[in-house]
Amino acid sequence: MPQCGAISILPDVRKEAATCSACGHSYNPHKGSATASSFTCPTCGSTHRIVEVVRQIGHVPEHRLYALDYKCARHGRHYKTQTQEDLDLFTKAKQQLQTEDNLIPKAEIPDGYNTRQILNFNYRYWSDCFNERQLYALSTLIKGILGLPPEVSDKNTKEFLILLLSSCLEFNNMFCSFKGRGTGAVRHMFSHHVLSPEKVPLENNLWGTPESSGSFSTLYYSKLRKAKEWCLRPVERIINGGKEKELIAPPLDKPIEARFAHSWVELVNTDANAIVRCASSTSLVYIPDQQVDAVITDPPYFDNVNYSELADFFYAWLGLVLKDYPEFQGENTRHEEEAIVNLTQGKTPDFYQDMLFRVFREAHRVLKDEGALVFTFHHATDDAWIRVFKAIQDAGFYCAAAWPIQGEMSVGVPLLGKKNAIEHDMILVCRKWPPPNLSFSRWDQVFTRILVETDSLSQRTL
């Protein structure tokens, strides 16, 4: 592979010496010509920073198809070097992209903390994150969904299929890679909540086969259908002594089905059970004072994830498809009240604290006196926690309980090297000030409780 481009199947990948079966070249399969940020020219031996070379070439890095991972019904799973036929198929898709009337996002990538990670590599439009075949396949699928006749698909079903397509986007772009070489699973582009160009991208099959990962046909079963089936028969999972059990108990003893209201009056006076709004939680004007039993929320984790910067990747496509919906009229998903710390966008820790305070103050207004504000939070720095706690206090709450749970980071992405990585999420239960006794209201007491609970949870997990 390093010399002639052929695929060598190695008998033992742990060995540091290998010989190419096609050209006889000897090499160490553990040593490539590139590290995370630099590469060494195999001809002259000089080393360069990848980003600097890409900046000089002035366009998005190009990729070369060098191998296919396939499964044959008779011989099982294999890799093969690309043939002329494979290259011709790609060329055909490229031509169809140019000659047919396609639905491709035209949105530019705005400047930001995460977006600079790819702007630095000359990505200028969200469509630059895909190769031509991916763009053509996605456009064909979107047109197929939008063109379904009414007797096959009503508006609701089309929205579901668009939701599924949105899920496929993160598994079908040039930032995807192997989840584990040899497993066939696709690591989607947001596994680390960043925008990081991939040196060896994995182009997935968008429609998929029964064994594909991250494809339209498989995600239909594993995500969309499974979620709807759960809504029809909701269960709680109980894990006891390592064994998992399903529990059906109130309120999860009947199907979860939303019947939407357009106003508070309609919600309380009809059999409607939900209102959905796409707006900042700093203003819940449609809810009168002291009407709500619980506010359950999940605010951003300080500076950990820049939601709108990453969500724009999806919005670029959804804005095309859902252009008649009022929620999709904006140029992108940035919002002046997005509660994050992002210095590139001018959002400081003070701004974050003030936003949380305004969200919690509004929660305080709509909550009944005996109501609870419940939310999850995690962060590795004291400063983030202190600001959350101050926002809670300033809004008129005290923290009544703190429950640690296994967080997304512990299973979702490798912890090592991730900025502010932390293994546990904390569920904080806040009630209206004053507390019945003042024993558990000060920040240092909450902090001690967090440490004690986290420590005992780690010991239980060991």
On whether the CB atoms of residues 133 and 93 are closer than 8 A, the answer is: yes
Applying CB under 6 A, does 332 fall inside the site for ligand SAM? no
Q: Using DSSP, state whether 223 is helix, strand or coil.
A: helix
- From its phi and psi, is residue 278 left (phi > 0), alpha (psi between -120 and 50) or beta? beta
Applying CB under 6 A, does 300 fall inside the site for ligand SAM? yes
Say how many residues touch ligand SAM, by CB under 6 A: 12
Choose between 97 and 339: whose C-beta lies nearer to ligand SAM.
339
Applying CB under 6 A, does 373 fall inside the site for ligand SAM? no
Give the gyration radius of the chain's Cα atoms. Answer: 26
Applying CB under 6 A, does 281 fall inside the site for ligand SAM? yes
* Closest distance to ligand SAM from the beta carbon of 412 (Å): 12
- From its phi and psi, is residue 302 left (phi > 0), alpha (psi between -120 and 50) or beta? left
Applying CB under 6 A, does 306 fall inside the site for ligand SAM? no
Rounded to 5 degrees, what are φ and ψ at 274? -155, 145
Please state, in angstroms and rounded to a whole number, the distance separating the CA atoms of residues 144 and 380.
Answer: 46
Contact letters (x/-) for ligand SAM, 343-362, by CB under 6 A? Answer: ------------x---x---
Choose between 248 and 405: whose C-beta lies nearer to ligand SAM.
405
Pair of tokens at residue 396: 């008129």
Taking contact as CB under 6 A, which single stretch among the options 252-260, 295-303, 316-324, 434-442 is the one that binds ligand SAM? 295-303
Residue 343: CA count within 13 A, CB half-sphere: 1
Angle value at C-alpha 384, between 379 and 388, nearest 5 degrees: 105
* Closest distance to ligand SAM from the beta carbon of 3 (Å): 46
* Closest distance to ligand SAM from the beta carbon of 355 (Å): 6
Choose between 412 and 434: whose C-beta lies nearer to ligand SAM.
412
Nearest to 188 by CA among 273, 129, 276, 254: 129
* Closest distance to ligand SAM from the beta carbon of 89 (Å): 37
Choose between 120 and 282: whose C-beta lies nearer to ligand SAM.
282
Per CB under 6 A, the list member of 191, 280, 410, 441 interacting with ligand SAM is: 280
Applying CB under 6 A, does 166 fall inside the site for ligand SAM? no
On whether the CB atoms of residues 39 and 47 are closer than 8 A, the answer is: yes
Tell me the DSSP string of 431-451: EESSPSSGGG-SHHHHHHHHH
Taking contact as CB under 6 A, which single stretch among the options 22-30, 210-218, 331-339, 441-449 is the one that binds ligand SAM? 331-339
Per CB under 6 A, the list member of 69, 108, 159, 337 interacting with ligand SAM is: 337
Nearest to 195 by CA among 123, 139, 131, 108: 123
| Contact residues: ligand SAM, CB under 6 A | 280-282, 298-300, 307, 337-339, 355, 359
